[in-house]
Chains A and B, each alone.
Chain A
Amino acid sequence: MTCAIQKPVILSEAKNPGSSFFSLPRDQKRGPVAGHTCASELQRFFASLRMTASGLDMTANGFEMTLGNRCGLTEEIRLPETGSIVRLTPEHKVILSLVEPGSRVLDLGCGEGDLLLALKVLKGVRAEGIELANACIQACVARGLFSVHHGDLDEGLADYPDQSVDYVISTNTIQVLHKPMVLIREMARVGKRCIVSFPNFAHWRVRMQLLLRGRMPKTLKLPYEWYETLNIHLTTVRDFRDFCKKAGLKVSREIPLRTSASGKYTQVPFLSNLRADSAVFVLEAA
């Protein structure tokens, strides 16, 4: 299990919606796809236990401990026209498929601007980002992004007027914040729609590691030691639904995902809180 960078995929057909790389994984109502049976999930689970036990150091495999890349499993993709390469996570790809072309987007915790750049080039959005890590802002500037601010999301979004952007996006960020409730309300105030992705702490792998090994879980989506992790407010799909309700938000779409070690991702059609290792939620004011 490594996070080796794959060959860049040329997105020449990205404008063709039929063959779009970023179409949502199809709902698998007909049951699990071959190779992803429950048996194979169990096999992989035991394999992951062995690897963890043998001292697998995920940080060395490309999981950098920065705010911008809390979750490994990125794929390098070459964007058309500029030829710039972006590293997209499965959640990024799902979000790319959700955002309407030409809209106005604010990405909270935008990291090195991978999603922003992809949105800008592929969807023609007006992209703005907020990021805490200086090195990430440097990287954004180096990639030709012109609207990235150094800022602490725990301080809220006071500079943004109500409903001033079409989408406020937060990928794998909400769980590192001190006040997720404050931010989600701010997101809903500023954005007409919010898209939030987070790692699911109720995934069976997580549960099993705690149950069988009695240890803090380490998975593809949660690769850090407990003493190094920035994730201080981990949540589950089920808890997040309650959280949205409490924040007065309507969940207009829920896209639970599971990702294989090779980076392949599929949508989880049922038992999502058990089987999805991450989820993307689209939220609107109730």
Chain B
Amino acid sequence: MLDEGSVGIVETKHLTFAAPPHEMTLECGRTLGPITLAYETYGELNQARDNAILVVHALSGDAHAAGYHHARDKQAGWWDIMIGPGKGFDTRKYFIICSNIIGGCKGSTGPSSIDPCTGRPYGLSFPMVTVRDWVDTQKVLIDHLGIKRLLGVVGGSTGGMQVLQWVVSYPEMVRLAIPIATTSKLSAQAIAFNEVGRQAIQSDPNWQEGDYYGKAVPGHGLSIARMIGHITYLSDRSMHQKFGRRLQDKSAYGYDFRTDFEVESYLRYKGNHFVNRFDANSYLYITKAMDYFDLTQAYGSLEKAFAGCKSRFLVVSFSSDWLFPTYQSKEIVSALRRVHADAIFTEIQTDYGHDAFLLESQQLSSLITNFLGHGWQQKS
């Protein structure tokens, strides 16, 4: 199972901070503490402490970006194709850090965590978190690891939003920024899909205003939310290639409302699988944080947001991504050009839609390898 390109067996670590009375004030004005961040690291931090790269995950990701948790673990980390010895993020050269976002459910503090004040899970009493809050908590982790300046921050989709927020919030700390398949603000269409997902969860009778911990979970709603999400991550063409109109385990239509088509079966499987690994309230919180993210609104204009940034950018979009379409990456790049920031922008031709960033891509990994390699050598 473990190949040469794998980081091998890894473990998730935890950092807890902001214990009362030193709670962190969030963007919404409320406070949160204590805060625990789950994180993993791969590779070695060098003597100069200048080879650290922070990998930030998307909606359903977690701190487990690469490697395996135990010898019989069949599921590698979510970006194992990119992180490891000899891969795009070469762990022989770089020290990779990945942490779970707050509001999530993969070891970092979120709505399913125990509220120390009540001794019960937060549920909807968990404060609203934003992309900026995610970045602020990651900054605490980076400080804790003794890193003054990150070589890079990289992420796709919602991860890309965090990359942008990093260079805006902490311009001095990021040398190389790699926002992939992302946007400086969600389109109305993307917010609409998020809202349909949230409505699916909230209309599940088991949801109980978010107070379902220890009881039956709103699995039906969450699985529908995930099914909708999955459609938006693929493209018309990739769905056609993957499923076409093929039937699932039958040779003729059933003329009933059970599964006929492969694509139905696939979505149901993905939806059900998601219920086992994700918390419905976290889905609500994270999608809301995505909706709120808007650098233009927060800073007056994108140029103003990027005005002080000192990073070099590699901005990548995918041609068939209709959830975070290329024009949104171009908006970012336009603003970067206007503030004279160094930026590489490329649109990779692919049929895989938004999810392309998670898939094996020679183009993406060689872009990243070269960008990091030169960026590390050429001091900026």
Contact = CB atoms under 8 A, between A and B. Distances in A.
Interface of A: 128, 134, 137-138, 140-151, 158-161
Nearest to A106: B337
B338 interface: yes
A134 B370 contact: no
A141 B314 contact: yes
B310 interface: no
A148 B315 CA distance: 10
Given A146-B312, A146-B342, 18 more contacts: A128-B337, A137-B344, A138-B370, A140-B344, A141-B371, A142-B366, A142-B370, A143-B374, A144-B377, A145-B344, A146-B344, A146-B378, A147-B344, A149-B343, A149-B345, A150-B345, A150-B346, A159-B333
B374 A138 contact: no
Which 5 pairs across A and B sit closest by C-beta, in order of nearness? A144-B374, A146-B342, A159-B334, A142-B370, A159-B337
Contacts of B8: none
Given A134-B348, A138-B363, A144 B337 contact: no
Given A134-B363, A142-B366, A160-B337, A148 B347 contact: no
B346 to A, nearest CB: 5
A138 B344 CA distance: 10
Contacts of B307: none
Contacts of B333: 149, 159
Interface residues of B, number: 23
Contacts of B348: 134
Contacts of A137: 344-346
9 contacts: A146-B342, A146-B375, A147-B342, A147-B344, A149-B333, A149-B337, A151-B345, A159-B338, A160-B337
Nearest to A146: B342
Interface centre among B334, B337, B377 (most CB of A within 10 A): B337
A141 B378 contact: no
A128 B338 CA distance: 12
A161 B338 contact: yes
B366 A138 contact: yes
A122 to B, nearest CB: 17
Interface of B: 312, 314, 333-334, 337-338, 342-349, 363, 366-367, 370-371, 374-375, 377-378
Given A134-B363, A159-B337, A141 B342 contact: no
Contacts of B314: 141
B316 to A, nearest CB: 9
Nearest to A148: B344
Contact of B367 (A138, A159, A160): A138
B342 A138 contact: no
A138 B338 contact: no
Contacts of A158: 334
Given A134-B363, A138-B367, A159-B337, A149 B344 contact: yes
Nearest to B313: A146
Contact of A147 (B334, B343, B349): B343
A159 B329 CA distance: 13
Interface centre among A142, A160, A161 (most CB of B within 10 A): A142
Nearest to B312: A146
Given A134-B349, A146-B375, A141 B344 contact: yes
A134 B361 CA distance: 14
Nearest to A131: B346
A147 B380 CA distance: 13
A137 B363 CA distance: 11
A149 B375 CA distance: 17
Interface centre among B334, B344, B348 (most CB of A within 10 A): B344
A145 B377 CA distance: 12
Contacts of A149: 333, 337, 343-345
Contact of A144 (B338, B345, B378): B378
Contacts of B343: 146-147, 149
A142 B314 CA distance: 12
A142 B362 CA distance: 13
A51 to B, nearest CB: 36
A213 B349 CA distance: 42
A145 B367 CA distance: 12
A102 to B, nearest CB: 15
B374 A146 contact: yes
A143 B344 CA distance: 12
A144 B342 CA distance: 12
Contacts of B312: 146
A1 B223 CA distance: 66
A109 B375 CA distance: 23
B363 to A, nearest CB: 7
A141 B345 contact: no
A112 B345 CA distance: 14
Nearest to B362: A138
Interface centre among A143, A158, A159, A161 (most CB of B within 10 A): A159
A118 to B, nearest CB: 17
Contacts of B349: 134
B342 A134 contact: no
A141 B344 CA distance: 8
